[in-house]
Amino acid sequence: MIFSSFQFLAFLLVVMALLIVVPGQRWRKLTLILASYYFYAYWDWRFLILLLLNTVVNAFLGKAMYTATDARRKKSILIASLVFNLGVLAFFKYFNFFIDSADYILSPLGFHLETVSIILPVGISFFTFESISYVIDIFRGTTKPAESFSDYALFVAFFPRLVAGPIVRPADYLPQLKKPIGIRGDNVWAGAQIFTVGLFKKLILADSVAPFVNQVFADPSYYSGATVWLAVFAYAIQIYCDFSGYSDMAIGIARMLGFHLNRNFHMPYISTSVAEFWNRWHISLSTWLRDYLYIPLGGNRKGSRRTYLNLMITMLLGGLWHGASWNFVIWGGVHGGALGVNRYWERVVKMKATPIGRVLAWAATFLFVCVVWVLFRAPNTATMLAMYSKMLFINADGVQWYYQWFFVAALLMVVGHLIGIYRDRAGAKELVFFDSPYSFKAAFAMSAVLLLIYLFAPTNTNPFIYFQF
């Protein structure tokens, strides 16, 4: 049940109707929990067992952590929690990756290891990280345990962001459960606008370039160097619009239900450095990695060498978080290296920011990010090498395919970013364009965009890319 389907629309309307008719805070929370479980079980009911297990264990450990007075006991509980959460994640997501890698190393010695068939539960990386932050925050004393089991259950399972984020912190979410839960017109209107922006990004931009990207990445050797370059740029559009579109939809749905989720993307492709890119891309993950990995490793407090090492470790693991494959690790490592270079450049080569310098910095950053996306997208090493050799115009002959929808999508991206920059300067914090649905202008704009989406969205919708993570 993906957000852009009629099934989900019907599901959401039912949930909203229930929240209107069901009386009392307690019952409304229960309604949301049951709706979230239904939503999750719709993918595969077996996943629900894992989600429930995660909820029960972490709720219990969180309480135990909070009531423990002994520091050693607190630490033991923390370790138990980390072992449980990371262990479950490692088993479901990384077991076969480790087996494969070990087999690759050991096979020359005559040892062979067999992989096993494991289904990856959707959203496991997201709710595991949320559970870990819950227990660590209690350990640090920066948050208190949820007031009730149902509060914690809703924190973990809240359906708008259950399967692909944004990753929510307990300190941001749990206090919202103390306010009355209900459907309010102003929230519905604001949420609908945010959701529509996300829907547009996903269905009109991401899905329209997807066939081009899929086909060129399937066999880059068939196409010319120029076409391969276009496909790389198209993938940059696709992955951004797919994931940020999903995040916008999640934020919009949450808002319709009366909850506030922080923005997860903030025009990452206008960044003028890799460090800035990571402040704008998948913000909930990058801040999570910063707060729960980079800073505990020592951050930048232990000298420059250690800082570079910490950056690299953080980005390698950040890469691995995306998927159990070496290409993600390498992708993370290359970004880690770039962050190191970025840091070195800022410290050693102190340049004055000039307009031309900013344009060059933007172009270099954008080009770097796009070129490195190949590592992320290529299904195997051979494809990756074929892509790069075409991009270097080695054996660059091949079919010239200048996919027209790519140019339309690119133009729309540019226009969207110009609007975004303008709104940023005007102080807009979220994708809400009209305060009231009563104005004709608002009704006209919203109807026009929705009809455009309906008319032109590909109906063979591609699943969201980040579901696999």
Partner 1 sequence: MTAGMLSGPAVPKTAQNVAQKLGAYGRLALTWAAAGALVLVIWVALYTLVIGRDRTVYDQDVYEGYRLVGAPGTTQLYTWEGYGVTSYGDNGLVVDKTLDPDVPRLLFLGDSYVEAKQVSDAKKFTEIVQDTWNAANPDHAVQTLNLGMAGQDIRTYLSFGRNMDREFAPSRVFVMLNQQDFLPLANAPDLLAQFQADPTTKLVKPEKLGGAQALISDTPVRQFFLRMLLQTDGFMAGSAETKAAQSELAGNTFDVLEGQEAAVVAQLSALRDIWGDRLVIVYNTYIPAFGKDAAPTYAPDTLMRAAQQLDIPLVNLYEPMLHAFQTQQPPRGFQNTTLGVGHFNEHGHQIIADQILAYLQQAGAGAPRPLEVTP
Catalytic positions are 322
**Cα 336 to Cα 397: distance, rounded to the nearest angstrom:** 34
Interface with partner 1, residue 403, by CB under 8 A:
yes
If one asks whether residue 421 binds partner 1 (CB under 8 A), the answer comes out as no
**Any contact of residue 405 with partner 1 (CB under 8 A)?**
yes
299 belongs to the binding site for partner 1 (CB under 8 A):
no
DSSP H stretches of helix in 170-325: 170-173, 185-199, 207-218, 225-256, 274-280, 283-289, 304-322
Residue 466 binds to partner 1 (criterion: CB under 8 A): no
Show the site string, 341-380: x = touches partner 1 by CB under 8 A, - = not: ----------------------------------------
**Distance in Å, CB of 80 to partner 1, minimum:** 42
Nearer to partner 1, 351 or 455 (CB): 455
Among 368, 376, 401, 464, binds partner 1 (CB under 8 A): 401
Q: How far is the CB of 422 from partner 1 (least distance, A)?
A: 24
Q: Which of 31, 43, 76, 182 binds partner 1 (CB under 8 A)?
A: 182
Q: Is there binding between residue 402 and partner 1 (CB under 8 A)?
A: yes
* Binding footprint of partner 1, residue count (CB under 8 A): 44
Binding mask 139-178 for partner 1 (x = CB under 8 A): ----------------------------------------
User: With respect to partner 1, which residue has the nearer C-beta, 7 or 142?
Assistant: 7
Instruction: Give 180's DSSP letter.
Output: P
Question: CB of 34 within 8 A of CB of 150?
Answer: no
Q: How many CB atoms lie within 10 A of CB 392?
A: 11
Residue 136's nearest CA partner among 183, 83, 78 is 78
- Round to whole Å and give the CA distance between 428 and 421: 10
d(CA 73, CA 93) in angstroms, rounded, equals 30
Tell me the closest approach of the beta carbon of residue 463 to partner 1, in angstroms.
13
- Say which residues have a Cβ less than 8 Å from residue 87's Cβ, sequence separation at least 6: none
185 belongs to the binding site for partner 1 (CB under 8 A): yes
The encoded tokens of residue 281 equal 């891309």
What residue type is assigned to position 385 of the chain? L
Query: What is the SS3 assignment for 379-419?
Result: CCHHHHHHHHHHHCCCCCCCECCCCHHHHHHHHHHHHHHHH
**Shortest CB 235 distance to partner 1, Å:** 16
Do the beta carbons of residue 40 and residue 12 sit within 8 Å? no
Q: What are phi and psi of 223, to 5 degrees?
A: -110, 165
DSSP code of residue 298: T
Q: Does 436 bind partner 1 (CB under 8 A)?
A: yes
Is 395 a binder of partner 1 (CB under 8 A)? no
For Cα atoms 123, 260, 30, give the angle at the middle one, nearest 5 degrees: 65
Instruction: With beta carbons less than 8 A apart as the criterion, state whether 254 and 39 touch.
Output: no
DSSP per-residue letters across 63-109:
HHHHH---HHHHHHHHHHHHHHHHHHHIIIIIHHHHHHHHHHHHGGG
Does the footprint of partner 1 cover residue 219 (CB under 8 A)? yes
Q: Residue 454, interface with partner 1 (CB under 8 A)?
A: yes
Using the rule CB under 8 A, give the single segment among 5-13, 45-53, 368-376, 378-386 that binds partner 1.
5-13
- With CB under 8 A as the contact rule, which of the stretches 266-274, 322-330, 351-359, 433-441 interacts with partner 1? 433-441
Chain residues binding partner 1 by CB under 8 A are: 5-7, 19-20, 180, 182-186, 188-189, 211-212, 215, 219, 222, 397-399, 401-405, 435-440, 443-444, 446-448, 451-452, 454-455, 457, 459-460
